């Protein structure tokens, strides 16, 4: 056996591949790369401690629904009443969708999941392993966003259906009569999760302290802008979601009260266009940020 190293300048023999040459690995298409990241991220999100914790948050409306149902079965309250007037199950359900889900649970899910799409990889120092792969960096963000959307839908929508079965029969409410409203509510929650998730995905990719920034946006800026007169409210997601709420709630009781409270609401089609624009624009900005930003891992 010879100890002499091969001369890289020597002509190659027939059928011999030079040792220094190798086929270049071609990056897969953007969509294919995003779906690979989606497959990788789905299992991690579904079985993470964050999902268990947020599952408990989503379960809080179910506890209220069980309480309402038990009180009615025991005849303790003689039905749910507000200011002495009996309130039907569909009205209670619509109010819980607006107050508990759209104003609290959906933003919380968006903040804790959306801001973590890239920030968690940076904190865990695993982002390097994703970026060394021959895939576009923006596809990493897109795939993880799709995983967030599927995960949150699987967490939220089943709880809404269970709450519907618990609450709507209160006060002789009809399940069949309000089934269309349930479908509207499920679609509304999906739109809210998509819009908030896109905004917080950008915040997570761009800002150094994304969780704090996201909480300030969701529970500081949006409520304040909604109360102030003028056009600032039109820069919030809640402004366009609230325009869809009365259309998915019974036109009586709490539904009419909400409609009277928020007199200045855009048409439904305008709200849908703006919410779709939030998703497209902020996902594009987040992907662009991930492509161009250099993430420095702290030692």
Domain assignment present for 97: yes
Mean pLDDT of 126-134: 76
Res 157: pLDDT: 92
The answer to whether residues 140 and 37 touch, using CB atoms and an 8 Å cutoff, is: yes
* Distance in angstroms (rounded) separating the CA atoms of residues 84 and 87: 9
Domain assignment present for 11: no
Res 236: pLDDT: 92
Residue 74 tokens read as 């025991």
**Class of residue 48 by CB neighbours under 10 A (exposed 0-12, middle 13-18, buried 19+):** middle
152-156, 227-231, 256-260, 290-294: least confident range: 256-260
The partner residues of 86 in beta bridges, in order of sequence, read 81
Q: Give the C-alpha distances (Å, rounded to integers) separating 237 from 129, 194, 215, 234.
A: 34, 11, 14, 8
Res 8: pLDDT: 47
Res 17: pLDDT: 44
Domain assignment present for 266: yes
Of the chain, the percentage scoring pLDDT greater than 90 comes to 33
- Name which residue leads in pLDDT, 262 or 195: 195
Domain assignment present for 161: yes
36-74 pLDDT, tens digit each: 889 988 888 877 777 787 888 888 999 998 988 888 787
Taking residue 285's Cβ as centre, other Cβ atoms within 10 Å add up to: 16
Res 228: pLDDT: 83
- Name which residue leads in pLDDT, 179 or 28: 179
The answer to whether residues 113 and 163 touch, using CB atoms and an 8 Å cutoff, is: no
Host H or E run for residue 86: strand 85-86
Domain assignment present for 91: yes
The total of structural domains in the chain comes to 1
Domain assignment present for 7: no
- Name which residue leads in pLDDT, 191 or 134: 191
Domain assignment present for 299: no
DSSP 122-136: HHTT-HHHHHTSSS-
87-102 pLDDT, tens digit each: 677 888 888 888 899 9
Distance of alpha carbon 268 from its chain centroid, rounded? Answer: 21
Sign of CA dihedral 213, 217, 221, 225: positive
Residue 226 tokens read as 């909604």
* Distance in angstroms (rounded) separating the CA atoms of residues 141 and 121: 11
- Name which residue leads in pLDDT, 124 or 241: 241
The 3-state DSSP class for residue 175 equals: coil
Res 115: pLDDT: 93
Range of the domain at 252: 30-292
Res 169: pLDDT: 83
Res 279: pLDDT: 97
Domain assignment present for 159: yes
Res 265: pLDDT: 73
28-37, 111-120, 126-135, 279-288: least confident range: 126-135
* Distance in angstroms (rounded) separating the CA atoms of residues 295 and 299: 13
């Amino acid at each position: 056996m010879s100890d002499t190293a091969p001369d890289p300048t020597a002509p190659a023999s027939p059928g011999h591949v030079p040792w220094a040459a190798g086929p270049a690995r071609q990056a897969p298409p953007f969509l294919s790369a995003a779906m690979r990241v989606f497959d990788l991220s789905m299992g991690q999100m579904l079985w993470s401690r964050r999902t268990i914790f947020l599952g408990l948050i989503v379960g809080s409306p179910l506890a209220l629904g069980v309480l309402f149902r038990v009180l009615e079965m025991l005849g303790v309250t003689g039905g749910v009443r507000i200011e002495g007037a009996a309130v039907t199950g569909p009205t209670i359900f619509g109010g819980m969708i607006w107050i508990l889900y759209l104003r609290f649970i959906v933003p919380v899910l968006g903040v804790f999941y959306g801001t973590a799409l890239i920030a968690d990889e940076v904190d865990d120092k695993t982002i390097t392993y994703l970026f060394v792969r021959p895939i576009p960096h923006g596809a990493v963000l897109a795939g993880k966003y799709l995983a967030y959307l599927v995960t949150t839908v699987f967490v939220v929508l089943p709880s809404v259906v269970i709450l519907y079965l618990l609450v709507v029969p209160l006060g002789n409410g009809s399940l069949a009569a309000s089934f269309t409203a349930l479908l509207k509510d499920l679609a509304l929650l999906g739109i809210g999760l998509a819009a908030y998730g896109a905004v917080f995905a950008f915040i997570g990719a761009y800002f150094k302290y994304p969780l704090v920034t996201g909480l300030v946006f969701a529970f500081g800026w949006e409520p304040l802008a909604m109360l102030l007169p003028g056009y600032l409210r039109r820069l919030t997601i809640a402004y366009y979601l609230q325009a869809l709420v009365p259309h998915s709630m019974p036109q009586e009781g709490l539904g009419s009260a909400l409609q009277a409270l928020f007199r200045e609401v855009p048409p439904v089609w305008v709200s849908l266009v703006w919410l779709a624009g939030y998703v497209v624009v902020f996902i594009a900005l987040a992907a662009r940020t991930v492509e161009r930003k250099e993430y420095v891992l702290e030692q």
